[in-house]
Amino acid sequence: MELAKNIFFNTDKLVENTRIKLSYTGKFFEDGSEKVFLHYGFGLLWEDITEIKMEKTELGFQAEIDLTAADSFNFCLKNERDEWDNNDLQNYIFPIERISTDLINVPEVVALNPIRKLRKSYILSKKLKLAIYKIITYVPKLISGNYKKKATN
């Protein structure tokens, strides 16, 4: 997805606490720069400022970034000659969406009692199946007289 000219992300929207891949095909890629560094931070005050070297590929310079729970992702770029691409002094600023938890229903107390009931019913069903198997197997033998007890020493 292209959010600004020459800036691409591997996702349709930036969501908090996710990892994204950013691709840059701007002026540093066009002028043949060998090294490009991504200088980025989060929120209006550029919190958690980080600078990483981007990987040069055939598709442009690329980097993977872990987004935080801030309201925006801000960045600018510089090359090995210390020239800056800061979107004409505006910086590149993209909103980060929050994960909605409105529809998630989490019970406050998880009771273990249903698990015990499930375990007891499972054991009871196994016992019942074994009893039915024995009845089906041995009753016809008893009726026909083909049932022999094992000899004991």
The domain locations on the chain are 2-95, 112-147
Q: In angstroms, rounded to a whole number, what is the distance separating the alpha carbons of residues 40 and 85?
A: 12
Domain 2-95 in CATH 3.40.50.1980: no
The string of pLDDT tens digits covering residues 1-46 is 445 778 999 988 899 999 999 999 999 999 999 999 999 999 989 9
CA 126 to chain centroid, in Å, comes to 39
Q: Reduced to 3 states, what is the DSSP secondary structure of residue 3?
A: strand
Q: In angstroms, rounded to a whole number, what is the distance separating the alpha carbons of residues 29 and 90?
A: 20
Q: In angstroms, rounded to a whole number, what is the distance separating the alpha carbons of residues 36 and 82?
A: 9
Q: What angle do CA 79, 81, 83 make, to 5 degrees?
A: 60
The string of pLDDT tens digits covering residues 62-105 is 999 999 999 999 999 999 999 999 988 999 999 999 887 666 66
Q: In angstroms, rounded to a whole number, what is the distance separating the alpha carbons of residues 75 and 78?
A: 10
Report whether 84 contacts 78 (CB < 8 A). Answer: yes
The string of pLDDT tens digits covering residues 37-63 is 999 999 989 999 999 999 999 989 999
